[in-house]
């Protein structure tokens, strides 16, 4: 088997048909399986899936796996990964779609470079005018060492942190125990953090192959207090995992990378989500241990601003003065996400 496409399904009845149609329309002529993981939703998503599979007569091998109860996206991806037989795996979210040549392009690039463990390509959004926080400009074809891979991610920031839209060598994932942390939201970023510890060869395709659906009812964007608080709290838990698993001899690189986003979340949420105060203490201790003076300064500013309700606005103004373009983009995404 060449490629295993893993699709978790949970309450996506309005979108799953379009997702599967984009997979069925692939131009890839190799052996491909599609593993559907039923995560026990409450709508007719699986009814639509089963109807489409029954009507399908192509070369894709469909496998349906069922959880006994809802376990979340991470568990569904892990279930699919354990069952996968392909040399490569591709994670596709069931409310998104892919271009007709997606798998063909990524697989051809992977086979062109036998040492490659991951191929990434570009992403746009549905609807087309929605803010796109996943836009990347891949300026090089391949990163051929772990140092170079990390440079693309932590310094140049040209590498995506999403799990989807990557064709990944399955043995690379299983040999390094690179599964998703179950029960955790914002799981992609944490997964990529651990992937970067092991990836020695990553290739990039500067073409759009994945269409990410921006949904107002997703956990990350909805305005209901409880799930939003849970989502932000999970981000705080992720920072704890970063800080307690810093890569040896790469600590400064990682501490410098995460300080900007950490200061944003800390100042905005520390008064309502206590985990950020614990993360601050851990971050400060790590910065002190590894002599990251710039990080310590930013932490001190964040700690001061976090005491005040309007501290977040002051932080944004400070960042706007220093980085006007990037902050303006973030503000645009922020306002259009309903915050």
Q: What is the pLDDT of residue 337?
A: 41
Q: Is residue 200 within 8 Å of 148, Cβ to Cβ?
A: no
Q: Which residue has the higher pLDDT, 2 or 273?
A: 2
CATH 3.40.50.920 assigned to domain 3-213? The reply is no
The 10 Å CB-count burial string (b at 16+, else e) for 297-324 is ebbebbbebbeeeebbeebbeebeeeee
pLDDT-derived band at 329, boundaries 50, 70, 90: low
302 pLDDT higher than 60 = yes
Q: What percent of the chain has pLDDT over 90?
A: 76
Lookup result for tokens 């796996």:
65
- Minimal CA–CA distance to 1: which of 23, 31, 27? 31
225 pLDDT higher than 50 = no
- Interval 133-162: pLDDT, tens: 677 777 779 999 999 999 999 999 899 999
Domain edges within the chain: 3-213, 225-336
Tell me the average pLDDT across 214-237: 68
- Interval 237-259: pLDDT, tens: 999 999 999 999 999 999 999 99
Q: Is residue 293 within 8 Å of 286, Cβ to Cβ?
A: no
Phi–psi pair at 124, nearest 5 degrees: -120, -175
Q: Which residue has the higher pLDDT, 339 or 321?
A: 321
Q: What is the pLDDT of residue 75?
A: 96
Q: pTM, whole model, 2 decimals?
A: 0.90
Q: What is the pLDDT of residue 335?
A: 47
Taking the C-alpha atoms of residue 165 and residue 184, their distance in angstroms, rounded to an integer, is 20
Q: What is the pLDDT of residue 221?
A: 47
- Interval 182-196: pLDDT, tens: 988 789 999 999 999
pLDDT-derived band at 217, boundaries 50, 70, 90: low
- Interval 8-35: pLDDT, tens: 999 999 999 999 999 999 999 999 999 9
Mean pLDDT for the chain overall: 90
Tell me the average pLDDT across 289-294: 96
332 pLDDT higher than 80 = no
For the chain, give the secondary structure using H, E and C: CCEEEEEEECCCCCCHHHHHHHHHCCCCCCCEEEEEEECCCCCCHHHHHHHHHHHCCCCCEEEEEECCCCCCHHHHHHHHHHHCCCCEEEECCCCCEECCCHHHHHHHHHHHCCCCCEEEEEEEEECCCCCCCCCCCCCCCEECCHHHHHHHHHHCCCCCCCCCCEEEEHHHHHHCCCCCCCCCCCHHHHHHHHHCCCCCCEEEEEEEEEEEECCCCCCCCCCCHHHHHHHHHHHHHHHHHHHCCCCCCCHHHHHHHHHHHHHHHHHHHCCCCCHHHHHHHHHHHHHHHCCCHHHHHHHHHHHHHCCCCCHHHHHHHHHHHHCHHHHHHHHHHHHHCCC
pLDDT-derived band at 333, boundaries 50, 70, 90: very low
């Amino acid at each position: 088997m060449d490629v295993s496409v893993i699709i978790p399904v949970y309450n996506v009845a309005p979108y799953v048909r379009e997702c599967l149609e984009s997979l069925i329309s692939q131009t890839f002529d190799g052996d491909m399986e599609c593993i559907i993981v039923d995560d026990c939703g409450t709508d007719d998503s699986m009814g639509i899936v089963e109807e489409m599979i029954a009507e399908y007569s192509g070369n894709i091998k469909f496998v349906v796996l069922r959880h006994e109860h809802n376990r979340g996206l991470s568990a569904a991806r892990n279930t699919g990964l354990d069952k996968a037989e392909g040399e490569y795996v591709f994670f596709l979210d069931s409310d998104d779609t892919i271009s007709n040549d997606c798998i063909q392009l990524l697989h051809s690039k992977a086979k062109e470079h036998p040492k490659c463990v991951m191929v990434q390509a570009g992403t746009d959004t549905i609807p087309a005018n929605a803010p796109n926080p996943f836009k990347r400009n891949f300026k090089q074809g391949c990163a051929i060492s772990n140092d170079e891979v990390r440079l693309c991610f932590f310094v140049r920031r040209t590498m995506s942190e999403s799990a989807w839209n990557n064709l990944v060598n399955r043995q690379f994932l299983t040999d390094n125990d690179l599964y998703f942390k179950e029960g955790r939201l914002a799981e992609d970023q944490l997964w990529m953090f651990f992937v970067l510890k092991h990836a020695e060869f990553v290739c990039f395709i500067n073409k759009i192959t994945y269409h990410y659906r921006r949904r107002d009812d997703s956990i990350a964007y909805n305005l209901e207090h409880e799930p939003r608080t849970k989502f932000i709290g999970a981000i705080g838990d992720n920072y704890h995992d970063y800080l307690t698993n810093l890569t040896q001899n790469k600590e400064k690189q990682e501490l410098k990378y995460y300080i900007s986003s950490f200061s944003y979340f800390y100042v905005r949420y520390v008064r309502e989500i206590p985990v950020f105060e614990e993360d601050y203490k851990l971050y400060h201790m790590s910065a002190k241990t590894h002599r990251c003076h710039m990080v310590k300064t930013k932490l001190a500013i964040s700690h001061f601003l976090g005491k005040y309700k309007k501290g977040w606005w002051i932080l944004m103004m400070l960042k706007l003065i220093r980085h006007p373009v990037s902050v303006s983009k973030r503000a645009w995404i922020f306002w259009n996400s309903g915050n």
